[in-house]
Amino acid sequence: MNSISILLQEGSQGTEVTKLQEALKDLNFDPGIIDGIFGRKTKQAVINFQKSQQLVPDGIVGDKTWAKLNAANNPRFNFQVVNVQEFISFEGITATNPKAVAAQLFRRLEDEEGRNYEEISITYSREGTSVILYTRIGLADDSARALRHRVELKRDQNQWEIIWVGRQFQCQPGRGHQEWSGIVCS
């Protein structure tokens, strides 16, 4: 959508406004006619989107609003890509279906120290695909406070395969970003 942040506000015009309007429409925030003109209806759609994301609802599209739009339109946005084979080997995954993979990940977490919270969810986004999201908060780490993995699986006939893995971090206070990001904490 937008790799370089461009500030957009009421009165802006051009292809970036068209991209903004299309992104808002895809997320069910009605920007009115997709015409590349940032008018009153587009501004209201931006404000409604910002409210839904706990952003300052000012109707101006800057870095934070673009980031939330990108994340909402691309679930892989802001994840650090992990080599699938290395992930499978490191995590000791031998299972071949989403529920069994999630169970193996959860069992592996039971032995780690320092955790305050952990969560694993499985969603089936469309026929033959599944996403496991697992989060650990309260790591025994000086820099990272939390770690989240996104594991995507696809079914080919009756066989499931892990096709993509990404990870995000939340840093300890004073050690980097506090939002989920693919950027490693310092």
> Nearest-5° angle of CA 184, CA 124, CA 19?
65
Q: d(Cα 80, Cα 160) in Å, to the nearest integer? A: 23
| Amino acid present at 151 | V
pLDDT tens for 118-173 read: 899 999 877 789 999 999 888 878 899 999 999 999 998 889 999 999 999 999 99
- Furthest C-alpha separation in the chain: 56
Per-residue pLDDT averaged across 1-23, rounded?
Answer: 85
Tokens 């977490």 belong to residue: 109
111 has pLDDT over 60: no
108 has pLDDT over 70: no
Per DSSP, the three-state class of 22 is helix
For residue 3, what pLDDT is reported? Answer: 47
Percent of the chain with pLDDT over 70: 93
Tokens 């015009």 belong to residue: 13
Closest by alpha carbon to 52, among 78, 37, 71? 71
DSSP string, 125-152: EETTEEEEEEEEES-S-SSEEEEEEEEE
Please tell me the total number of residues recorded for the chain in this structure.
Answer: 186
